[in-house]
Structure 1
Amino acid sequence: MSQDINGHDGVTRVPTGVPGLDSIMFGGFLSGAVFIVRGTPGAGKTILANQMCFNHAQGGGRALFVTLLSESHARMRQHMEQLSFYDASVIPDRLYYISGFSTLEEGGLSGLMDMLRREIRTHEATLLVLDGLIAVEETSSSDREFRKFIYELQAHVAAADCTALLLTNGSRSDHQPEHTMVDGLINLSDTTLNKHKQRELEVLKFRGSGALRGRHPFRITDGGVVVYPRTEAILAVPSCVDQATNNKVSLGIPMLDEMLGGGIPEGTSTLLLGASGTGKTTLGLHFLSRSTPTEPGLLFGFYETPERLMLNASTLGLDLKGMIDRGDVEVIWRPVTEQILDDLAGTLMDAVRRRGVKRLFIDGLNGFQESSDIRDRVLHVFSALASEFKALGVTMFLTAETRNIVGPGIEMPFNGLSSVAENVVVLRFVEYRARVYRLLSILKVRGNGFDAALREFNISSDGIKLLDTFEGASSILTGFGTEPSPDRASQPEAPEITR
């Protein structure tokens, strides 16, 4: 069952129904065309093809799955039954399985072609899967005979308006004549990244249409194949026009808002840098505390579960649980294990669009970094995300942990980090006479003036409280402060909660 996908080229498409894959191919495969799907054994070809067939049948189409391998249909279906896309009700009326192994052995390529023509016509198939193209190649007496088979199949499926997928293990080299004949070539691979594996899908050829270039990671889950389009590719251009304003967004800390001239500029990205324990998460919770039904908030984090965050917020006088219960704030927690960067970015983007989020707090840019297959990719991904968020009017707050706790300078976790944010706020520790002070400074606010003073702050049961300018820190960049003035030293100290 084909449909016309409007947007990129307006051609008739056959949607796959595979999460992420249709986005990569701008709507799906071309109707009446032939595509080769290749990959090593275990790459996921058979699962992907079965998933497409079931989705196609459930959408009203008719699929024909022809195997040329020795594995029985009963064994293959037994494996597919474990996946949620499997639907026995569409078999055999809308999805029909047939083995062509004996026909190929006895009748050769001509016998197999006759069978395919007959079965496509009998079942009125609009999607054909031929699993085992390598068997056709091995049966061919020459490359010419093999190419002739592909040519005849291509002519027949075009006349029948049936899209064909030819599955092969990719034993032949990357440059074979049949690749020039078919309408598309999709490659599945299993790439080694450090000590773990990552499955990737790449559209190497797509005649008559565009496609998102590059290798896109995918998983095989209980629901089948899930593809995660590369974030830089799918967000290469923002989805809407940036509506720039002069509005300011409160950070929930009056003195800090005052230092910023009324708050952070709306629709900008703010990078919050600091060592572990300086109060980055606490400041972000203050920012989220101003979320409302018309200005919904989202916390996307890696290191603290929602339950732990609610407990910590309550000790600061912030009712995060109430905000969540009212629907003003949503918390998404993803543990830092074997994550996929594009999965994280896609989940984040979907959550922002789903609720129309205006206040976004990403607690742990380092979590994205640890999930990246290529270290420098995080900057490109967040550049694309920041442009999209800006166009959507989202004010983003993101934290990044610096390497040094107390010491000279600010050691960035990786180079170029400040390029993803218009604003930069730094939290740091300074040591003096066996006491550690927390200090806050604003390094950059693009397009706006700000108070550049270095201020001490406390974290108490009332949250963050900024004190007067820390004038005694004449050598602050060394990580050590001089003795505070008598007036300041005589001030009572607020009780601190170390986080």
Structure 2
Amino acid sequence: MNGRITSGSGPLDVVLGGGLPRDAIVLVMGAPGAGKTIFAQQWIFANATPERSALYLTTVSEPLEKVLRYGQTLSFFDPAAVGRSVWYEDLGRILRDHGLPGVLERVRELIRVRKPAMIVIDSFKAMHPYASRSGAFRPFLHDLAGMLSAFPATSLWVGEYQDDEIQRSPEFAVADAIIALKSVHSAERTSRALQVHKLRGGGYLAGTHSYRLSEDGITVYPRLADPADAGDTGDHDVQSVRIRSGIRALDDMLEDGLCAGSSTLVAGPTGTGKTLMGLHFVFQAVGQGDGAIIATMQEDPSQLERTASQFGWSVKDGNLTVMYRSPVDLNVDQWVYELLDTIETTGASRVLLDSLADLQAAAPDQIRFREYLYSLLHRSSRQGTSLMMTYELPELFGVSKISDVAASHMADNVVLLQYAGITGRMSRALTVLKTRAANHRSGVREFQITTEGIGLVPAQSLSDFVPGQGTPHV
């Protein structure tokens, strides 16, 4: 291999370990509508120049006119480049009239005249039925691959192949790289996933990577799975600097405060004050002139503003960024990258993630959810960004465990909010279950929500806490 050539997408180049292999044969497979043609056109318009032109050959899958008409709706399509650095030709008639030998001869002639640096054949699989006899496709494939290998050009073969054809179709053995585009169904959700099955001469990111299609082409979100640092014991490398949480009730139970860059999980049933506790947390930073982010799937900005105004805050503060996304049709990969980018661009010192349950429900599976969470917590810790996450528990009473929540193991601090019955009345109770690298007061404490925020009830511990509602196991 002679280096790499960009795929036209920076994140996809990351997945490919630097881009597509130059002067190689790349096979792009996927069902109709997966984005193969968009992939191919994005690639040629990102690279083609008059000196290093691109040749786009259609066969009998889609008419050339349709490919061009749809291509013009894409933002990267440059009409001025057509006929100057990007050349289109329909091989359909030659294929119908003269079969595979005619195609081979025409491709040889086009290479001699155009001298392209890039060649696309769309669709390659559609040429299979035009083999004149059984076994005739292999000699054609051998001659075509030999011709392309002798000429310095990168070739992209596009086809509507299924996974089981990788073992059966001879072109997969010839290809230097194989990229699959597919749809993934999880419950009621459908998402798109890209996977590299093969890439000679270089490394690539294994596994599936989410992607989306738009007028800007294919946007890939590389699988977010940060490896542990060398010598990592599993604990986050939180800073030694202590910060106030901004929550009076919690600060009263923390002897040393929270570590800067640490992660805190606030879990509890509905109505216990989880979002309010998160607002205290971020507005503590805003009040100090620091940047903060509310990444919410629970309440839109108008709802947050209504709640915040009751305590003298405003989500319209210039130091606060509200990143609201509906949990309906949420692409978790896209969301995580948007959050990380927002943290970097704003320099936020604190982030409220409200709520973790919505993020968990949108994840394609539990393994991926844990990868997202680990990577998010790990990167936030490295940047010194303190993170608070809310998680809604299903039980209104008798909360006994939160161990099935991945964040309870990964988070540096775990705070439980719950309801308690005290001498015939309902009350809210707070328990600090865990503080990594810091001390805290144990026990279950009653708290109240007033116009001044969340505060502990003086001289009141829940000694008469209703049985069955004790401190759960983490």
**2:280 — aligned with what?**
286
| One-letter code aligned to 2:325 | R
Q: What does residue range 51-90 of structure 1 map to in structure 2 within 5 Å?
A: 51-57=42-48, 62-69=53-60, 71-90=62-81
SS at match of 2:48: helix
Q: Distance in 2 between matches of 1:368 and 1:472?
A: 33
Residue 237 of structure 1 deviates from its aligned partner by 5.1
**2:314 — aligned with what?**
319
Q: Distance in 2 between matches of 1:58 and 1:442?
A: 62
SS at match of 2:335: helix
Aligned residues: CA RMSD: 2.8
Say which of 146, 162, 176 aligns to 1:183.
Answer: 176
Q: Distance in 2 between matches of 1:474 and 1:61?
A: 80
Deviations 1:432-480 (A, max 9, x none): 3553211111000012211113222222222222222532433345249
| One-letter code aligned to 1:193 | S
Q: Distance in 1 between matches of 2:432 and 2:348?
A: 25
Question: Structure 1 residues 67 and 208 mapped into 2: Cα distance closer, same or farther (>3 Å)?
Answer: same
Q: What does residue range 312-461 of structure 1 map to in structure 2 within 5 Å?
A: 312-322=307-317, 325=318, 328-405=319-396, 407-412=397-402, 414-432=404-422, 435-461=425-451
Q: Distance in 2 between matches of 1:58 and 1:276?
A: 59
Residue 188 of structure 1 deviates from its aligned partner by 1.8
**1:140 — aligned with what?**
131
**1:495 — aligned with what?**
none
Q: Distance in 2 between matches of 1:203 and 1:331?
A: 35
Say which of 241, 247, 259 aligns to 1:253.
Answer: 247
Contact 1:344 1:368 in 2 (8 A): no
- Unmatched 5+ stretches in structure 2: none
Tell me if 1:306 matches 2:301: yes
Contact 2:50 2:85 in 1 (8 A): no
**1:4 — aligned with what?**
none
Deviations 1:262-314 (A, max 9, x none): 32112221111111111111111111113258742111110111222122111
SS at match of 1:450: coil
Q: How many residues align?
A: 464
Question: Structure 1 residues 143 and 94 mapped into 2: Cα distance closer, same or farther (>3 Å)?
Answer: farther
**2:36 — aligned with what?**
45
Question: Structure 1 residues 336 and 245 mapped into 2: Cα distance closer, same or farther (>3 Å)?
Answer: closer
Contact 1:456 1:469 in 2 (8 A): no
Deviations 1:49-78 (A, max 9, x none): 122222233898522110011532222222
- Unmatched 5+ stretches in structure 1: 1-9, 481-499
**TM-score after normalising by structure 2:** 0.89
Contact 2:60 2:127 in 1 (8 A): no
Question: Structure 1 residues 360 and 238 mapped into 2: Cα distance closer, same or farther (>3 Å)?
Answer: farther
Q: Distance in 1 between matches of 2:49 and 2:327?
A: 36
Residue 418 of structure 1 deviates from its aligned partner by 1.0
Worse-matched range after superposition: 223-232 or 117-126? 117-126
Q: Distance in 1 between matches of 2:207 and 2:61?
A: 34
Write out the 4+ residue segments of structure 1 that deviate beyond 6 Å after TM superposition: none
Contact 2:249 2:454 in 1 (8 A): no
Residue 223 of structure 1 deviates from its aligned partner by 2.5
**TM-score after normalising by structure 1:** 0.85
Residue 36 of structure 1 deviates from its aligned partner by 0.9
SS at match of 1:96: strand
Q: Distance in 1 between matches of 2:276 and 2:209?
A: 36
| One-letter code aligned to 2:173 | T
Tell me if 1:28 matches 2:22: no
Question: Structure 1 residues 424 and 188 mapped into 2: Cα distance closer, same or farther (>3 Å)?
Answer: same
Say which of 95, 101, 118 aligns to 1:127.
Answer: 118
Deviations 1:81-103 (A, max 9, x none): 33333332221212211011222
SS at match of 2:277: helix
**1:211 — aligned with what?**
204
Residue 318 of structure 1 deviates from its aligned partner by 2.2
Q: Distance in 2 between matches of 1:303 and 1:60?
A: 53
| One-letter code aligned to 1:164 | S
| One-letter code aligned to 2:464 | S
**2:194 — aligned with what?**
201
Worse-matched range after superposition: 195-204 or 108-117? 108-117
Contact 2:399 2:418 in 1 (8 A): no
**2:4 — aligned with what?**
13
Worse-matched range after superposition: 390-399 or 116-125? 116-125
Contact 1:191 1:198 in 2 (8 A): yes
**1:297 — aligned with what?**
292
Q: Distance in 2 between matches of 1:201 and 1:116?
A: 30
Residue 353 of structure 1 deviates from its aligned partner by 2.2
Question: Structure 1 residues 115 and 76 mapped into 2: Cα distance closer, same or farther (>3 Å)?
Answer: same
Q: Percent sequence identity over matched residues?
A: 28
**1:466 — aligned with what?**
456
Contact 2:444 2:462 in 1 (8 A): no
Contact 1:238 1:388 in 2 (8 A): no
Contact 1:455 1:469 in 2 (8 A): no
Residue 413 of structure 1 deviates from its aligned partner by 8.6
Q: Distance in 2 between matches of 1:25 and 1:469?
A: 61
Residue 130 of structure 1 deviates from its aligned partner by 0.3
Say which of 93, 96, 109 aligns to 1:105.
Answer: 96
Residue 369 of structure 1 deviates from its aligned partner by 1.0
Residue 205 of structure 1 deviates from its aligned partner by 0.6
Residue 167 of structure 1 deviates from its aligned partner by 0.8
Q: Distance in 2 between matches of 1:250 and 1:11?
A: 55
Q: Distance in 1 between matches of 2:2 and 2:330?
A: 35
| One-letter code aligned to 1:475 | F
SS at match of 1:245: coil
Question: Structure 1 residues 155 and 353 mapped into 2: Cα distance closer, same or farther (>3 Å)?
Answer: farther
Q: Distance in 2 between matches of 1:298 and 1:340?
A: 19
